[in-house]
Structure 1
């Protein structure tokens, strides 16, 4: 057993031997290391319904900041750009891309924050409904925008 003035570490064996409870439990460790657990989002835990309007607005800002030219419809519920389109849906934001050899695999559109994702066998088009606007969604869109900027 190691002792320190600031914190005490004990092993399960030590706590059984002397009858004292362990000083650190799983909840404490998870709280302390919560910033290091972001990778767990890839294993689920997302809702199947998202705020389509909010996600669409975030996507619009993201595309604009990335220099992607797009056309917005009059109702401001859908937009089109050279290699895809997006629209507000009741359960999220539908996003589709089309082009040659898209740099995607099936798992890219099936991760947390996406539903109903599909890619054609020839990888010439994909579509997915985004139910969240998180880091995975931003990386997905950014990767495709970068791909099309280098293809042209």
Structure 2
């Protein structure tokens, strides 16, 4: 009888621990890796300069950037983001800093698609994000499509997922 209870206890613990609520169907159990949705945006000046690199003239520091949405009650809700540095991976170099937000992408997955990006003293840009599953598929800034980055080799999926906003 003890063996039956031990086996049932092991089966119960295994069953409970192997439930994945973040990414249903995405792996064998909760220990398997999850893939997070995200939005990556580089912001460039009219001359092609990196406006997220504070060493450039006219660039914006993280403190000068606000990313938010307005909820159904009309309350402004901030959206978390970080500024990622330019990087080199293997033979590929991406020379622009990027605004990275997984929160914005997760909100877009639950039909909160309109956001606002305020850079310094400029008027806020209205951003509309369309997701396809966990992939940021389309980004509009003031109803104008923001293109995906094209400066990388075709096999670089990460850089090809960066939206490139030119002001």
Q: TM-score range by the shorter chain?
A: under 0.3
Instruction: Find the structure with the greater CA-based Rg.
Output: 1
TM-score (norm 2): 0.24
TM-score (norm 1): 0.26
Q: Higher helix fraction: Structure 1 or Structure 2? A: 1
